[in-house]
Amino acid sequence: MAANPFHLAWFLQGSSIQAWGSPWTGNISEEWGTASMFLDLVRNMERAGFDYILIEDSIYIGQNWKDSRQMFLENGMSVPRQEPSVVASIMAAATTRLGIVPTLSTFAYAPYLTARIVGTLDQISSGRGGWNMVTGSSDLSAMNFGADRLPDHDKRYDMAEEYIQICKQLWGSWEPGAIVADRKSGILIDHTKVHTIDFEGEYYRCRGPLNSGPLPQGQPVIAQAGGSVKGKTFAARYADTIVAAPRGIPAMKAYRDDIRSQMTAMGRDPNSCKTLFLVTPIVAETMDEANWRAEQRAVWASNNVDRCLAQLGWSTNIDFSGHDLDAPVGELTTNGHQSSLAQFVTKAGKKTLREAIIAHASGGYSTELVGTPDVVAGQMAEAMEEVGGDGFLINLPDVSRRSIATICDGLVPALQQRGLVRTKYAHEQLRDNLLEF
């Protein structure tokens, strides 16, 4: 292992019909419900030594284009989506070392239920469970749970403070050694080591204790995508791993430095949390093919401006269908994903909306990675050297067995040969593997 190894994880955009309509995707539109491709994905990831898979989620069908679901349904845009905790369970059963991190929204699940689901996942995976904590971004999702709209952005994080405190206290409601399993006395559980939490806050109340028992990790790994000012502070306080997508090496470094500074000010060891940057590598056998694929991505975006804007609107809660494509982007506000919108507006500069969305959709998130396996491995090494760590989250728009192979059988071996990522797991549990380096 090199002096400065880094971590790898996979950002799976929902357990939906990935890459439908693209070549080399098999019969995904007929087989997606069985999750067989996603099980192939996690088996390949584990063979390649990834730290974890994060299963992104949403609990609504997009309607942020001409106030209609047509665009989203016809093109399979973030739909259909299955319950991530169920998919996480079968992923855990198909692996032995890979961390499994489903997304559960604070507005959609009661705190006790989240604590129980994630705690159970940690148990059945022998300490590989995690929780991607999100507060929600779309009013459409709120309507599915009987509300007219989501609370304001900053209030959602105020509520999440109480929510996560309940979860952490519930996970801690069983002391170590509570299960004694003493066959001589006939006592299974020492009742003096299981406690109520009696949490009473402004937004939530919970009595406890958790009835599903203690967790192998004690506390599961918490992932969080802190992009807004409020979100970054929340992530600095609670996250064990952070999903980050600032655009460009300087922004990546500034983000990580800021998070680590906040952690230090809070009394946390900044090395206890791993910031992983979203990337969309284009890996091919030759540079010509890789460059061609990158060009094709830009061509596709140019020919599908409406779809690209609809997808941005899906996450930002904005319907762009009435906006002038050839006018400057200007100022935009949202109660949805503020960091996603802020990054789009910042990168747009003086571009027109058309130019900005083409650049946005054809880009590679944090940093551009295009080339042969060895070239991309070198690009990743250089990025980590400048940023300081901690690793990358692979986010492919066309998840298929073919594209998975370009990463697990192409890119990862090149990284391993440079000593940049692990060749085998040193530990059985997720947190231990995150803290290995």
Task: Let me know whether 358 and 373 are in one domain.
Answer: no
Range in 64-78, 194-208, 346-360, 413-427 with the lowest mean pLDDT: 346-360
- Once rounded to an integer, what is the mean pLDDT over residues 324-340? 83
Task: Let me know whether 224 and 353 are in one domain.
Answer: no
Task: Let me know whether 277 and 258 are in one domain.
Answer: yes
- The reply to whether 2 falls in a domain is no
- The reply to whether 1 falls in a domain is no
Task: Let me know whether 140 and 170 are in one domain.
Answer: yes
73-118: pLDDT as tens digits: 999 999 999 999 999 999 999 999 999 999 999 999 999 999 999 9
Task: Let me know whether 237 and 304 are in one domain.
Answer: no
Tell me which residue range forms the domain holding 384. 7-287+365-434
End residue of a domain, out of 338, 362, 386: 362
- The reply to whether 95 falls in a domain is yes
Distance CA 327, CA 351 (A): 8
Task: Let me know whether 89 and 177 are in one domain.
Answer: yes
161-200: pLDDT as tens digits: 999 999 999 999 999 999 999 999 999 999 999 999 999 9
Report how many domains make up the chain: 2
- The reply to whether 146 falls in a domain is yes
What pLDDT is stored for residue 344 in this prediction?
86
Task: Let me know whether 210 and 348 are in one domain.
Answer: no
Task: Let me know whether 156 and 247 are in one domain.
Answer: yes
Is pLDDT of 15 > 70?
Answer: no
What pLDDT is stored for residue 17 in this prediction?
76
Task: Let me know whether 221 and 340 are in one domain.
Answer: no
Is pLDDT of 3 > 70?
Answer: no
What pLDDT is stored for residue 74 in this prediction?
92
State the CATH number of the domain containing residue 71. 3.20.20.30
Task: Let me know whether 349 and 388 are in one domain.
Answer: no
- The reply to whether 197 falls in a domain is yes
The residue that leads in pLDDT, 329 or 433, is 433
- The reply to whether 57 falls in a domain is yes
pLDDT band at 224 (very low <50, low <70, confident <90, very high): very high
pLDDT band at 331 (very low <50, low <70, confident <90, very high): confident
Task: Let me know whether 12 and 126 are in one domain.
Answer: yes
Q: What is the mean pLDDT of the chain?
A: 93
- The reply to whether 225 falls in a domain is yes
- Once rounded to an integer, what is the mean pLDDT over residues 224-233? 89
